């Protein structure tokens, strides 16, 4: 059995959970969403105005999110031509979805709380799923291709539409002088590490800005990634701040749908839900515990156990949301690019940044439904 044995002290500071985590083991088709669910309001991510992930509203969820997510200060000074093209892109019926337009669409979906996973500038599987979740949240016809109705809904908020997608960011000492490590393959070797840190500065920066490593390097072909250097990055905007009282993990669409107390669909995230060898459970369960920066206990075939330390490359990433169904939970991932493209051990796997966004908003006794 795989087990999580640590409750990070940050939980008490964040006020996220008052329970003690005692040794639990780890182990839609959009039409499947009940038509009884109300559509969300048209509120989107608050406009960032030079600072992302720095929420100004006075609420429990906003305060928690501000502690969990890094504040990002950016400018639009000296942006390269491609970044300027992305920021000024506008879709027209019949037009091809270019790399610049794909990047703009991925940003608009993210800012409207329909996560695409790592932003990579490609209109692929997770982007289409995010569009369909957005369409569902707004009561629109669910389609496989972008249409005029969906574009108008995505761009309804003029301030959000004018928010820059690609921005300039000045690297700090903390960005580049961080602990890194080489992650070994075996659990015993991992357990000997001080922490499951990032393997490179590039990996850390890509995760900070919710991007693929490849796209980060493509946007900055001549960068040395030194402190004080300006680089071009994706502007992650701000996460959902509405409290989540229910989530639905759809095994068909590999999407996690998040609902508020009034049954409004307020956010969606691409996910990996179980596998053929280790299927996820069915039915409804509840959130029992929430852990930021968990460790991970691996149990070998012979019953021997080793504890893998916390870190972004921990097998459950930086978040564990344990369920009333023993050994199952919602957690992060050390490999965001493979979300929706890999198997899990029956749990609900998200990117680390989506898992953190959910950790800051999900209620302690929220319902978790597998479909």
pLDDT at 29 over 50: no
**Tens digit of pLDDT for each residue in 145-200?**
999 999 999 999 988 888 999 999 999 999 999 999 999 999 999 999 999 999 99
**What's the pLDDT band for 281 if we cut at 50, 70, 90?**
confident
**What's the pLDDT band for 278 if we cut at 50, 70, 90?**
low
**Tens digit of pLDDT for each residue in 89-110?**
999 998 888 999 999 999 999 9
Query: At 309, is the secondary structure helix, strand, or coil?
Result: coil
Mean of the pLDDT values across residues 7-14?
Answer: 36
C-alpha to C-alpha distance for 353 and 110, rounded to whole angstroms: 12
**Tens digit of pLDDT for each residue in 290-300?**
999 999 999 98
Which pLDDT score is estimated for 17?
Answer: 31
Report pTM: 0.87
Instruction: Please compute Rg for the chain using Cα positions.
Output: 20
**Tens digit of pLDDT for each residue in 198-247?**
999 999 999 999 999 999 999 999 999 999 999 999 999 999 999 999 99
Residue 108: which of 149, 67, 157, 70 has the closest Cα? Answer: 157
pLDDT at 311 over 90: yes
Percent of the chain with pLDDT strictly greater than 70: 84
Report CA 7 to chain centroid distance, whole Å: 21
Pick from 5-9, 10-14, 86-90, 222-226: least confident: 10-14
C-alpha to C-alpha distance for 348 and 262, rounded to whole angstroms: 24
Mean of the pLDDT values across residues 70-84?
Answer: 96
Mean pLDDT of the chain: 87
C-alpha to C-alpha distance for 184 and 177, rounded to whole angstroms: 22
Mean of the pLDDT values across residues 269-287?
Answer: 79
pLDDT at 23 over 80: no
Which pLDDT score is estimated for 94?
Answer: 86
Which pLDDT score is estimated for 6?
Answer: 43
C-alpha to C-alpha distance for 297 and 305, rounded to whole angstroms: 7
Percent of the chain with pLDDT strictly greater than 90: 75
3-state helix, strand, coil in the chain (%, to 5): 25, 20, 50
Which pLDDT score is estimated for 19?
Answer: 30
Helices (H), the chain: 10-14, 60-68, 81-88, 99-111, 125-137, 148-154, 158-161, 173-176, 187-191, 201-208, 213-219, 352-359
Query: At 153, is the secondary structure helix, strand, or coil?
Result: helix
| Strand 244-250 with 255-259, pairing | antiparallel
Mean of the pLDDT values across residues 262-273?
Answer: 94
Mean of the pLDDT values across residues 81-94?
Answer: 95
**What's the pLDDT band for 45 if we cut at 50, 70, 90?**
low
**What's the pLDDT band for 44 if we cut at 50, 70, 90?**
low
Mean of the pLDDT values across residues 268-285?
Answer: 78
Residue 187: which of 303, 295, 278, 305 has the closest Cα? Answer: 305
C-alpha to C-alpha distance for 337 and 117, rounded to whole angstroms: 8
CB 281 within 8 A of CB 370: yes
Which pLDDT score is estimated for 260?
Answer: 97
């Amino acid at each position: 059995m795989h087990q999580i044995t640590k409750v990070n002290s940050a939980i008490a500071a964040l006020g996220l959970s008052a329970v003690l985590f005692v040794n639990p083991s780890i182990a839609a088709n959009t039409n499947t969403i009940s038509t009884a669910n109300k559509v969300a309001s048209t509120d989107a991510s608050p406009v960032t105005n030079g600072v992302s992930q720095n929420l100004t509203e006075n609420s429990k969820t906003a305060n928690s999110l501000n502690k969990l997510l890094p504040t990002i200060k950016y400018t639009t000074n000296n942006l390269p031509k491609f970044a300027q093209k992305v920021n000024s892109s506008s879709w027209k019926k019949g037009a091809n979805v270019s790399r610049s337009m794909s990047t703009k669409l991925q940003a608009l979906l993210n800012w409207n709380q329909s996560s695409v996973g790592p932003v990579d500038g490609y209109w692929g599987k997770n982007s289409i799923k995010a569009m369909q979740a957005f369409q569902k949240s707004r009561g629109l016809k669910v389609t496989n291709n972008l249409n005029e109705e969906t574009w108008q809904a995505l761009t309804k908020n003029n301030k959000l539409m004018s928010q820059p997608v690609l921005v300039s960011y000045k690297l700090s000492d903390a960005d580049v002088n961080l602990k890194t490590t080489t992650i070994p393959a075996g659990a015993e070797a991992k357990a000997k590490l001080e922490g499951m840190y990032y393997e490179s500065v590039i990996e850390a920066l890509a995760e900070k800005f919710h991007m693929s490593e490849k796209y980060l390097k493509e946007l900055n072909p001549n960068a040395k990634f030194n402190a004080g250097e300006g680089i071009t990055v994706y502007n992650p905007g701000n996460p959902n701040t509405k409290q989540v009282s229910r989530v639905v993990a759809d095994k068909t669409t590999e999407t996690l749908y998040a609902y508020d107390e009034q049954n409004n669909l307020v956010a969606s995230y691409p996910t990996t839900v179980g596998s053929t060898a280790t299927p996820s459970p069915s039915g409804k369960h509840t959130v029992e515990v929430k852990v930021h920066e968990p460790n991970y206990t691996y149990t070998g075939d012979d019953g021997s156990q080793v504890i893998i330390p916390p870190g972004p490359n921990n097998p459950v990433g930086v978040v564990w949301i344990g369920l009333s169904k023993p050994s199952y939970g919602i957690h992060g991932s050390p490999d965001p690019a493979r979300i929706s493209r890999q198997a899990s051990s029956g749990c609900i796997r998200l990117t680390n940044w989506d898992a953190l966004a959910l950790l800051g908003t999900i209620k302690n006794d929220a319902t978790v439904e597998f479909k």
